[in-house]
Structure 1
């Protein structure tokens, strides 16, 4: 193994956040796109959880929690990133109550005890909290970021989940009238690095299948 291997899935918010952190840390790795219904045996052998992302390092270390991969990238990359941002209360709330509520909102038919409108209403407080946490950029007054005047691990940790929320029903999201949050989300999604990391790739099942170099696609 000449560089780390990342098992990923293009649309998974946990995998998106790790690809963003690795890319912004300028850490190259071999990315293997996983079909979640047909997971590669090699991934299951190193991580019995069976979920992405999974990062395999050259020394045999396996990291299979997205925040832990982001923290590793922050301390091993060429860019100066503050891993302490990952301990922020916004990340904890995003990964717990917001993600749980988001799953119910997106897959409301699996949770018939409440309506989709109810699940949507339960997401409002966190989205409003994010809107209030946005700070203007020092270099471009139209850009805003979470808690700091520049893009950071905090933005990359949370953006993929807000993206998922947005695409459930864009008109409903826009109707919240949170223009700052909406602008932040679209700026994140339209960033060149994000766009390139979201290109569709062929699935990887076993040795010989196509994988790709993370930094070479940027």
Structure 2
């Protein structure tokens, strides 16, 4: 195939992926991990921008591209996000009981302090782009589209040897205020991105005894 990128609407031949690539792709899926322990090493210049460009190529309902990426470099904003996490995490701990509470207290649930890159992913719930196609019966497909963009970013980062951690123990309204984004935007994910201290094919929550991955459950009708 030509190395040149085809113009919009121009016919081009779809690639045929070899079995070796298919096997590597499956390996990529299995090695995608939610990283919580990061090295402080910065990413190569321009790499985060390239990863976000890949995420921007994700599918979306009605081609609406409703995701909104916000990079957080300001130390004061990062400190405010960490403070919100600590408050939410303390509240979450009170909901756990017995041995489960002790296990929860021992988990390292955020890489907010050491990860070199922080990216918040928001969704604009009713973007003009896409002209509403596919949203009338399932408006939640807009947010689902942003989640797909997060997963695309996750895999693209893993393929570059970069770890990603999804921090969900946060108050969305406070994060929106801390980052000074439009009130209509809804927080989908707060991501820590950088080089993992260690890599493991088994999820950390499974290694720490929090939960085990279940086998696939398919219902036939």
User: Normalised by the size of structure 1, how large is the TM-score?
Assistant: 0.26
Bigger helix share: 1
The structure with more radius of gyration? 2
User: Normalised by the size of structure 2, how large is the TM-score?
Assistant: 0.26
